[in-house]
Structure 1
């Protein structure tokens, strides 16, 4: 299940686009934070909610005892904190002398509710699992930071895709908690248009399959196959797919191999909940309440957040200290997955850190 992060990250390209190199970042510490009697916005609750996380580096406090080097990085739909422990992300950011050098920063990589090793439907509740939202996921992250890790302020909160949307929620919900915010591959408005239609297609493909059986299946329903095809189309890059599969036979093999792997590691109920969690996302009305300097980065070949809609630049004008960067399409961009190829935007991260240094 954890490899579902590839849906909204690098899809099929991670296996071939980076040369294997020795990791230059420290081995993460892994832990679980159990939240008792967690109440969801839906009115549902869990007697115990497991919030899994990984950390790199050590927390530092200033002369007043306040945390001053904590960085929260949030993953995309279907992903987990492990998606950031790759050469094309960690290898560009976490090593010695790099922008988020793990010897200087305390990096927190949580698995969102319903993802990775955190509590999720496939643990046993299936479709009886509480219907979590992005607000619930951010609340659990906040409690992890404040209650378990004793962090009272973030140097930076950032995220990719769904994690980018979580970053917008963070900046509005806890406006005094961070020095800077960096949402990638996201826009601060309701999910509508083609994005919403794609999500509806995914959920309906599963729910209308009799084999789903209201979530009480013994074998994954056949509708999951259609859902995965939709996800592939949603997050893919035409340019990179053409490079990876330049002829008929290689294209057929590429999608067949991708589907085989994803079917083996995807649970239909987990996927349903992950996609549904975006149902009430809408930071637009409160953009003016964001206090922290915010840098939003998207890419011009992102089919999930296409630049021709004009939403990105329009809405950033309502953020008091907001700035928008659109990465032009190039042979090195990867569609929606550009958000995980840090080499394409880490110079902007360096600038944001420099401008918000206290």
Structure 2
């Protein structure tokens, strides 16, 4: 059930992730590997799996207060197409996990799951292919809660989620009010996923479905054309115009970047997995129940985020419905990375420190 390991992290990037700074070196964190097996897991669609496997990593040691409740557990949720190791990215972990840092592993017990459909958790490519249950964010959050029960964690100090994890953080806050002392959703909106955001996801999904080589999900080799088009859509969604212009400022550099990206992602992406995790957001809409979120909440988006453009003005409206919520829009700078700014912890670390102070439980 539990294996001790030191993960020497190489650069990991989710579909909507950010590239690490060349000046930030990977750290060998003393992570522990865990697996929770959930029998007869029932999905929101009514579909079931005889056994749902959830893999997750932990760092640090759990602590219980005088009442016997965990008081130092932090749940860290990755983005679409990522995994538990995505938030071991040095531009995130090196800034937050070390001595004296906001999520110092000597003080906090960090829990990093592979979500359903991701990493080493149950996913379509394990064998069910397109017959895998059509999971959504509600299923993901409910399975995370069951994972915590298995781990004997009955309370969280913080939930911090990036991109897909950002949306799951809102779902957590509404579904299990007060289970966490604080919430930190980074890089998402708190409304139905519609407009251009859904359009781009739908185009990526349909590129795969319409490829004859997909064969209803029973392909023997990857449907290359559909998968390539889907990955191209995701490249645009996660892009940063300023950074790309500065670092790929010639035609040759721009084309080489695309070629290298596609070579890397095509080799590591399964079409069914991509189709399912892109579609998991189809019924996301926390706007109906935001008033249930009453704990301190720090919501951060960046102005150069193609997926969550600030001109929509959505966050400014939604944040007012949560009594202790604060919304920060980060301006475009040389340090931002479009949607991937959610992983660039140095930019927003001070805001996180303030949230942890503001949400400190009273003795």
Q: Same fold (TM over 0.5)?
A: yes
Cα shift readout 1:56-105 (whole Å, capped 9, x = no counterpart): 00000011111000000100000001011121000000001111000100
8 A Cα contact 1:181 1:295, kept in partner: yes
Q: What is the rounded CA distance, in whole Å, between the counterparts of 1:44 and 1:60 in structure 2?
A: 37
Is the 8 Å Cα contact of residues 11 and 26 (structure 2) preserved in structure 1? no
Write out aligned runs for 1:1-358 (5 A).
Answer: 5-10=13-18, 13-14=19-20, 17-21=21-25, 23=27, 26-146=29-149, 148-221=150-223, 222-358=225-361
The question of whether the paired residues in 2 share the 8 Å contact of 1:5 and 1:77 is answered with: no
**Counterparts of 2:12 and 2:94, CA distance in 1:** 21
Per-residue deviation, 1:27 = 1.4
What CA distance in whole angstroms lies between the structure 1 residues aligned with 2:31 and 2:194? 37
**Structure 1 regions of 5+ residues with no counterpart?**
none
Structure 2 CA distance, aligned partners of 1:318 and 1:80?
A: 31
Using the alignment, how far apart are the partners of 2:292 and 2:105 within structure 1? 31
Is contact 1:163-1:183 (8 Å) kept? yes
Superposed displacement of residue 6, structure 1: 2.9
Bigger mean CA deviation after superposition, 318-327 or 41-50: 318-327
- Separation (CA, whole Å) in 1 of partners of 2:104 and 2:11: 25
User: Structure 1 residues 211 and 3 mapped into 2: Cα distance closer, same or farther (>3 Å)?
Assistant: farther
Aligned residue for 1:317, secondary structure, equals helix
Residues 330, 20 of structure 1: CA spacing in aligned structure 2 closer, same or farther, 3 A cutoff?
closer
Normalised TM-score (structure 2): 0.95
Provide the rounded CA distance (Å) in 2 between the counterparts of 1:93 and 1:265: 28
CA contact (8 A) 1:5 1:83 kept: yes
| Offset of residue 22 of structure 1 | 6.0
SS at 1:254's partner residue?
helix
Separation (CA, whole Å) in 2 of partners of 1:270 and 1:5: 16
How far apart are residue 5 of structure 1 and its match?
4.1
Counterparts of 1:54 and 1:275, CA distance in 2: 23
Equivalent residues of 2:91, 2:346 under 8 A apart: yes
SS at match of 1:7: coil
Question: 1:4, CA displacement in angstroms?
Answer: 7.9
Pick which of 286-295 and 336-345 moved more. 286-295
Structure 2: stretches of 5+ with no match in the other structure: 1-9
TM-score scaled by structure 1?
0.96
Shift of 1:224: 0.4
Secondary structure of the residue aligned to 1:89 is helix
Whole-Å separation in 2 of the counterparts to 1:3 and 1:42: 35
2:12–2:89 Cα contact (<8 Å) kept: no
Any idea what SS the aligned residue of 1:112 has? coil
Alpha-carbon contact 1:54-1:81 (below 8 Å) kept? yes
Residues matched between the structures, number: 351
